Amino acid sequence: MNITENQQTLLRMLPGVDHILEMVKADTFFDNVPKSVLVRSIRSVVENLRIIILDNQQNITEPELSNSEILNKIKESVRKTMTPNLIRIINATGVVVHTNLGRSLLADDAIENLLTIAGRYSNLEFDLSKGARGSRYSIVEDILCEISGAESAMVVNNNAGAVFLSLETIAKGKKVIVSRGELVEIGGSFRIPDVMAKSGGILKEVGTTNRTHLKDYENAIEHDTALLLKVHTSNYSIVGFTADVSLESLVDLGAKYKIPVMEDLGSGTFVDFSKYGLLKEPTVQESVKAGADIVTFSGDKLLGGPQAGIIVGKNNIIEKIKKNPINRALRIDKLTLAALESTLRHYRNIEKEMDAIPTLRLMTLPFDHIESNAKTLFEMLENIGDPRLSVSLIDIFSRPGGGSLPLLKIPSKGVGVKVQGISANAVEKQMRNNECPIIGRIEEDLFIMDLRTILDDELQLIENAFKHMLKKAGS
Ligand SMILES: *Cc1c(COP(=O)(O)O)cnc(C)c1O
């Protein structure tokens, strides 16, 4: 590589790490910055400048290498390193249970309980009535049985863990019959055939993609069949010429051959959404009532609690699952248990307490409420009074997300923004990089924010973000 004289001059201007370390001593900004962070920031800034100098495509000038400019760059880098990586964001996507954006928000009392348990000792594994060692699973077992109607219950880290643990316990080295139409893949690499393989269960596919009949299951039963598995096709729907076998029929078939039946509900809800003008999603109670031996579902999808995998079902199988040593690796932690217990308690009286669980509240938010917030945000943005900003109110659809109710589109109201001189893509990027990131969507060259998932107290933050963006863009 040929280095020009100019490049050589610039390279020589770059200060050494020790020199900069001396320099920062005079600046109080760095007083409480850990040495490791400081050294890393200095090295990365100097290294970046070196790369820019050597890159013939990029022009850099001497003033940009002044001590004060370099110090500013180091401060910026230190600031970035010192802010947490996991931060709150504003979900303006309208997807209520957004897997990339933290899925469910917890109920207020779940958060309160979690805070108490986090900062204090607790009876996590201590039976207060006996004064002896207890089990952490007993904390939510009774309430899960009460709500679902099941004999026994058990909780683990997440539903993928619940499915894996159940398969490993029941079907290791044996065959599991599943319909071809139910070999689900959900995001983040969870695929039924893969989980099955890892659990040691041997997958026996039956039927076709669109149609599976009871006789397909029956014909596939062999001496080493350990389980009939039904998987809720939570994130897609097969429509048209279709047939699947009801859980009730599978339970009858299982009883005939003495083979247990498991249903992975995925999202899992205790609420019949069709009562609220939404589409019907199978409920946990219905699966239990139909006689499934094991039902698995998530804690943080439509249930609206913390990340957890819930297993309810017949006593004999749940007891085996509880004794599986792998359990320990999938163990639910105390903070999750604290939040889960508080969330579950609302389900005793859920018709009156829908609004306490944010996921349920947002799913069933009255249109008037959304519209009123959309109008407020519209006015706030209009009142910025910047001629480059054109704001509109639009009719859009929100989605439940979380791999549930894939066909459901819930009418909602959005605010669309166009900024003269800034493309919709650039607006989206700036909002995404805002101090409190705002995640929206782009449709037809418009940046759109769905008011269903924007919380009431977040409107001001959005106004501030747009003011900041316009100011940055100059006038
Ligand atoms: C979401 C889902 C899972 C995995 O649940 P996690 O709680 O994300 O681990 C498993 N099965 C189905 C059908 C799902 O929809």
Say if 393 falls within a structural domain: yes
Q: Are residues 60 and 183 in the same domain?
A: no
One domain for residues 396 and 338 = no
Query: Does 114 share its domain with 255?
Result: yes
Angle (CA) 265-266-269 rounded to 5° is 70
DSSP state of 136: T
Q: pLDDT per residue over 168-195, tens digit each?
A: 999 999 999 999 999 888 766 788 889 9
Category of 329 on φ-ψ map: left (φ > 0), alpha (ψ -120 to 50) or beta: alpha
Which domain-ending residue is among 356, 375, 401?
A: 356
Indicate which atom in ligand 1 lies nearest the CA of residue 233.
13
CATH number for the domain including 183?
A: 3.40.640.10
Relative to beta strand 309-313, strand 294-298 is antiparallel
Q: What is the pLDDT of residue 210?
A: 85
Q: Tens digit of pLDDT for each residue in 108-125? A: 999 999 999 999 999 999
Nearest CA to ligand 1 atom 3: 266
Query: Do 225 and 174 belong together in one domain?
Result: yes
Same domain, 338 and 380: no
Please report where in the chains the tokens 């110090």 appear, as a residue. 71
HEC-encoded secondary structure of 296-338? EEECCCCCCCCCCEEEEECHHHHHHHHHCHHHHHHCCCHHHHH
Residue nearest to atom 2 of ligand 1 (CA): 266
Whether 154 lines ligand 1, by a CB cut-off of 6 Å, is no
Biggest alpha carbon distance in the chain? 87
In order along its 475 residues, the chain shows pLDDT tens digits of 678 888 899 999 999 999 999 999 999 999 999 999 999 999 999 999 999 999 877 788 888 889 899 999 999 999 999 999 999 999 999 999 999 999 999 999 999 999 999 999 999 999 999 999 999 999 999 999 999 999 999 999 999 999 999 999 999 999 999 999 998 887 667 888 899 999 999 999 999 888 899 999 999 999 999 999 999 987 777 778 888 889 999 999 999 999 999 999 998 899 999 999 888 889 999 999 999 999 999 999 999 999 999 999 999 999 999 999 999 999 999 999 999 999 999 999 999 999 999 999 999 999 999 999 999 999 999 999 999 999 999 999 999 987 677 778 999 999 999 999 999 999 999 999 999 999 999 998 999 999 999 999 999 999 999 999 999 988 6
Residue 103 lies in a domain: no
Cα of 346 from ligand 1 centre, angstroms: 23
d(CA 150, CA 162): 16
DSSP state of 347: G
- Strands 132-133, 126-127: pairing kind: antiparallel
- Atom in ligand 1 nearest the alpha carbon of residue 267: 15
The secondary structure of residue 342, as a DSSP letter, is H
Token pair 């290498």: residue: 65
Cα–Cα distance for residue pair 166/326, rounded to 1 Å? 10
Q: What spacing in Å lies between the alpha carbon of 222 and ligand 1's midpoint?
A: 28
The verdict on 352 and 215 lying in the same domain is: yes
Contacts with 87 (C-beta within 8 Å, 6 or more apart), sequence order: 436, 437
Taking only the tens place, the pLDDT of each residue in 243-261 is: 888 999 999 999 999 999 9
Q: End of a domain among 317, 340, 356?
A: 356
For a mutational test of ligand 1's pocket, the pick from 234, 235, 262, 359, i.e. the residue with the most ligand atoms closer than 8 A to its C-beta, is 234
- 29 with 128, same domain: the answer is no
Q: What is the DSSP letter of 235?
A: T
Report pLDDT for 475. 65
Q: Is residue 288 part of a domain?
A: yes
Q: Which atom of ligand 1 sits closest to the CA of residue 404?
A: 15
Whether residues 406 and 346 fall in one domain: no
Which residue range(s) make up the domain with 327? 108-356
The length of the chain is 475
**Domain end call among 356, 384, 415:** 356
Instruction: Tell me: do 337 and 399 sit in the same domain.
Output: no
CB under 8 Å to 281, separation ≥6 — which residues? 267, 269, 273, 302, 404, 405
Ligand 1 pocket, mutate which of 298, 302, 307, 336 (most atoms under 8 A from CB): 298
From 158, 164, 186, the mutation candidate for ligand 1 (largest count of ligand atoms within 8 A of CB) is 186
Q: Can you give the pLDDT at residue 336?
A: 98
Q: Is residue 234 part of a domain?
A: yes
- For the chain, the domain total comes to 3
Instruction: Give the C-alpha separation, 300 to 332, whole Å.
Output: 13
Shared domain check, 222 and 94:
no
> Are residues 376 and 349 located together in one domain of the fold?
no
Beta bridge partners of 263: 230, 295
How confident is the model at residue 1, as a pLDDT? 65
242 and 301 share a domain?
A: yes
Ligand 1 midpoint to CA 336 (Å): 17
What was the pLDDT predicted at 188?
65
Q: In this structure, what are the phi and psi dihedrals at residue 419, rounded to the nearest 5 degrees?
A: -125, 120
CA of 52 to the centre of ligand 1 (A): 46
Residue 431 belongs to domain with CATH number: 3.90.1150.180
